[in-house]
């Protein structure tokens, strides 16, 4: 990683770390804010993983495990944001934790890998792709749940903004990853694109959390499915 990609990644790490500190500094925190604090810290660690080559083993493990609450954690944030406090139950935390184990397992299996990936890493990568894709879809769907023309205009704008930002970031990084398999020059931009998307998602989520405080859900989550 070099050039503008490294600079963008460094800024993204700073933004995610700042998000964590801002949320921790709040005197009272709702479920979505607590969950996003975890996600912010995990995003910062995940972005740092390419810089960990040659680092001590304990640091590699810390980054591999600490950076495993990204897409799975953000799914929980979306549930809490659009279902209210109580929208995340033990089963959802358990599912997110299971995906976190897959992420951490894949990164640990890939540590120090030279050349061809090990069978364990390949198997975990396939499982992780399936699980992550499912959670990405569920995250997007949360903003559609309960959609109605009778919703307040501010609520509709919040949901539309969430879907646009989230879908735009996921689709753009996925497309760059797919094109990068054919054009190496495109692949070189992927780390920078991911960093930019992290910054956009972090900043937008803070706007969404602030909006949720001003416009609480009219009814708390009655079902936790």
What pLDDT does residue 218 have?
A: 64
Average pLDDT of the segment spanning 30-50: 94
pLDDT in tens, 41-74: 999 999 998 787 777 878 888 888 899 999 999 9
pLDDT in tens, 114-143: 545 567 777 888 888 899 999 999 999 999
Burial of 166 (0-12, 13-18, 19+ CB in 10 A): buried
Residue 204 φ/ψ, nearest 5 degrees: -65, -40
Q: Give the model confidence (pLDDT) of 167-182 as tens digits.
A: 999 999 999 988 888 8
- The single-letter DSSP state of residue 151 is S
What pTM was estimated for this model as a whole?
0.89
CA distance 197 to 107: 21
Tell me the two tokens of residue 57.
């083993």
Q: What does the alpha-carbon distance between residue 62 and residue 147 come to, in Å, rounded to a whole number?
A: 40
């Amino acid at each position: 990683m070099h050039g503008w990609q490294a600079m963008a990644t460094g800024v993204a790490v700073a933004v995610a770390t700042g998000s964590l500190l801002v949320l921790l500094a709040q005197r009272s925190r709702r479920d979505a804010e607590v969950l996003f604090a975890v996600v912010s810290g995990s995003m910062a660690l995940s972005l740092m993983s390419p810089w960990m080559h040659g680092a001590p083993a304990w640091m590699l493990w810390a980054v591999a495990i600490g950076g495993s609450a990204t897409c799975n954690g953000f799914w929980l944030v979306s549930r809490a944001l659009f279902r209210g406090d109580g929208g995340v139950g033990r089963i959802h935390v358990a599912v997110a934790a299971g995906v976190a184990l897959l992420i951490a397992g894949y990164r640990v299996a890939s540590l120090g890998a030279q050349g061809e990936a090990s069978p364990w890493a390949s198997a975990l990568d396939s499982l992780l792709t399936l699980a992550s894709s499912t959670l990405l879809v569920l995250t997007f769907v949360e903003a559609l749940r309960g959609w109605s023309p009778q919703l307040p205009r501010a609520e509709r704008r919040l949901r539309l903004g969430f879907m646009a930002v989230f879908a735009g970031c996921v689709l753009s990084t996925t497309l760059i990853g797919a094109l990068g398999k054919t054009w190496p020059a495109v692949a070189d931009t992927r780390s920078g694109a991911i960093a930019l998307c992290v910054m956009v998602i972090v900043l937008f989520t803070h706007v969404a959390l602030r909006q949720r405080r001003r416009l609480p859900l009219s009814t708390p989550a009655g079902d936790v499915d």
